[in-house]
């Protein structure tokens, strides 16, 4: 039987429609739409595409985007001052620093300069701490998007054996914490893990965020596994691929995310969700979307 396709594009479209409705319903009371500010430093070409996608997504739901694009040689102190200005700007509900920043800049200090309640990416240390403690707060967008996909597809997580491949602060770590909070039993694999195949074959849920094209093949996956592929890579011959060899793994899987169209679109939607939630909170508006 073919695997269930965990369609991030379709879910992102549905959630965006709900966010758009929420904004139009709250606009009169709030007196302004939600605002997302993106701070981009330097000219990393991939970042340019990501920032443009985020701005377009804001437009689709009726939120405003405020872009600040500063040259790579901007001093750290000036960037932190810009973030403090955005923290104080009442039209801005969400702020993100587009990573990576150019060499020589301290991205940790930039994240620390954010108002944690406007932290649209959920990467401020306070919000990572809130996640560890299971307290409410903006969540890291990519793993939150994965949780939304799993929840929507009604994948049972309680008591499930989950393996997360990758332990980055951006994806793997928060992913493992979110799955634990959903009562999965989680193992985290990384580049020093011995016998990855033996480990991943035990998984009922396998989330792969290794940043290695095609790392996971049929030999890593037991029949009936739910497979989530976070990796995104540009193929030399054109097009995108993930960390999972989709054609090999799909026939074995119970459910699987495609690349593109799986986790990627959900990441941007979660960014919007964090921003709209902060806007709703600051205007005491009802926020009927579930806390994903
Ligand atoms: P990263 O390089 O910071 O971390 C990769 C992790 O994988 C590390 O912890 C490393 O130990 C582990 N790893 C590397 N090789 C491994 C191996 N052979 N076996 C086991 N573990 C291994 O990367 P990241 O920022 O976490 O991103 C991971 C991937 O996800 C990248 O392809 C990135 O482009 C993609 N990504 C996608 C989205 C999205 O929206 N879909 C968002 C963020 C990142």
Domains of the chain: 32-121 (3.40.50.10860), 141-264 (3.40.50.720)
Structure-derived torsion over alpha carbons of residues 175, 180, 183, 188, reported in degrees to the nearest 10 = 80
Q: What is the pLDDT of residue 61?
A: 98
Cβ atoms within 10 Å, residue 192? 6
Q: Pick the catalytic residue from 7, 93, 119, 121.
A: 121
Q: Is the pLDDT of residue 205 over 90?
A: yes
- Cα separation values, 26 from 14, 23, 91, 95, 276, Å: 19, 5, 15, 21, 10
166 lines ligand 1 (CB under 6 A): yes
Confidence of residue 45 (pLDDT cuts 50, 70, 90): confident
Q: Pick the catalytic residue from 7, 93, 98, 243.
A: 98
240 lines ligand 1 (CB under 6 A): no
Nearest CA to ligand 1 atom 23: 211
Q: What's the chain's average pLDDT? A: 96
Give the pLDDT mean for 49-60.
95
Confidence of residue 1 (pLDDT cuts 50, 70, 90): confident
pLDDT tens per residue across span 257-290: 999 999 999 999 999 999 999 999 999 998 887 6
142 lines ligand 1 (CB under 6 A): yes
In the annotation, is 119 catalytic? no
232 lines ligand 1 (CB under 6 A): yes
> For residues 226 and 164, is the Cβ–Cβ distance under 8 A?
no
**Continuous segment of H or E residues that includes residue 284:** none
Give the pLDDT mean for 232-250.
96
> For residues 221 and 252, is the Cβ–Cβ distance under 8 A?
yes
Q: What is the pLDDT of residue 290?
A: 67
Q: Are strands 4-5 and 255-256 parallel, antiparallel or unpaired?
A: parallel
Q: How far is the CA of 267 from the centre of ligand 1 (A)?
A: 15
Angle (deg, nearest 10), helices 8-30 and 45-61: 60
Q: How far is the CA of 18 from the centre of ligand 1 (A)?
A: 30
Give the pLDDT mean for 174-189.
98
Cβ atoms within 10 Å, residue 56? 11
Q: How much of the chain, in percent, has pLDDT values that exceed 70?
A: 99
Nearest CA to ligand 1 atom 35: 231
Q: Is the pLDDT of residue 106 over 70?
A: yes
> Quick one: which of 152, 153, 143 has its CA closest to 4?
153
Q: Pick the catalytic residue from 7, 54, 118, 243.
A: 54
Q: What is the pTM of this model?
A: 0.97
- The helix/strand/coil state of 221 is coil
> For residues 125 and 111, is the Cβ–Cβ distance under 8 A?
yes
Ligand 1 nearest atom to the CA of residue 210, by list position: 7
Q: What is the pLDDT of residue 46?
A: 85
Point out which residues pair with 65 in neighbouring strands.
36
pLDDT tens per residue across span 117-156: 999 999 999 999 999 999 999 999 999 999 999 999 999 9
Give the pLDDT mean for 41-50.
90
Confidence of residue 67 (pLDDT cuts 50, 70, 90): confident
Q: What is the pLDDT of residue 143?
A: 98
Handedness of CA 195, 201, 206, 208 (dihedral sign): positive
In the annotation, is 180 catalytic? no
Cα distance between residue 162 and residue 94, in whole Å:
31
In the annotation, is 118 catalytic? no
Cα distance between residue 260 and residue 239, in whole Å:
9
Q: Is the pLDDT of residue 64 over 80?
A: yes
């Amino acid at each position: 039987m073919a695997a269930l396709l965990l369609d991030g594009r379709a879910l992102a479209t549905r959630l965006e429609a709900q966010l758009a409705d929420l904004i139009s319903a709250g606009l009169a009371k709030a007196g302004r739409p939600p605002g997302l500010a993106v701070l981009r430093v330097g000219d990393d070409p991939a970042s340019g595409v990501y920032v443009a996608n985020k701005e377009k997504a804001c437009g689709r739901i009726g939120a405003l985007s405020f872009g600040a694009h500063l040259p790579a040689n901007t001093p750290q102190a000036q960037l932190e001052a810009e973030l403090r200005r955005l923290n104080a700007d009442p039209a801005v509900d969400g702020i993100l620093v587009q990573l990576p920043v150019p060499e020589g800049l301290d991205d940790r200090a930039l994240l620390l300069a954010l108002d944690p309640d406007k932290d649209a990416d959920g990467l401020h240390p306070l919000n990572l701490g809130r996640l560890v403690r299971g307290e409410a707060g903006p969540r890291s967008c990519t793993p939150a998007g994965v949780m939304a996909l799993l929840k929507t597809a009604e994948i049972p997580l309680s008591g499930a054996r989950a393996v997360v491949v990758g332990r980055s602060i951006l994806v793997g770590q928060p992913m493992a914490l979110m799955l634990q909070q959903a009562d999965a039993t989680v193992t985290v694999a990384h580049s020093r893990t011995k016998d990855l195949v033996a480990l991943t074959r035990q998984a009922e849920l396998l989330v792969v965020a290794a940043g290695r094209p095609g790392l996971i093949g049929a030999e890593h996956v037991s029949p009936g596994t739910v497979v989530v592929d976070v990796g995104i890579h540009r193929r030399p011959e054109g097009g995108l691929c993930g960390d999972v060899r989709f054609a090999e793994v799909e026939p074995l899987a119970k459910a699987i995310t495609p690349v593109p169209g799986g986790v990627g679109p959900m990441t941007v939607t979660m960014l919007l969700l964090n921003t709209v939630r902060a806007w709703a909170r600051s205007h005491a508006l009802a926020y009927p979307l579930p806390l994903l």
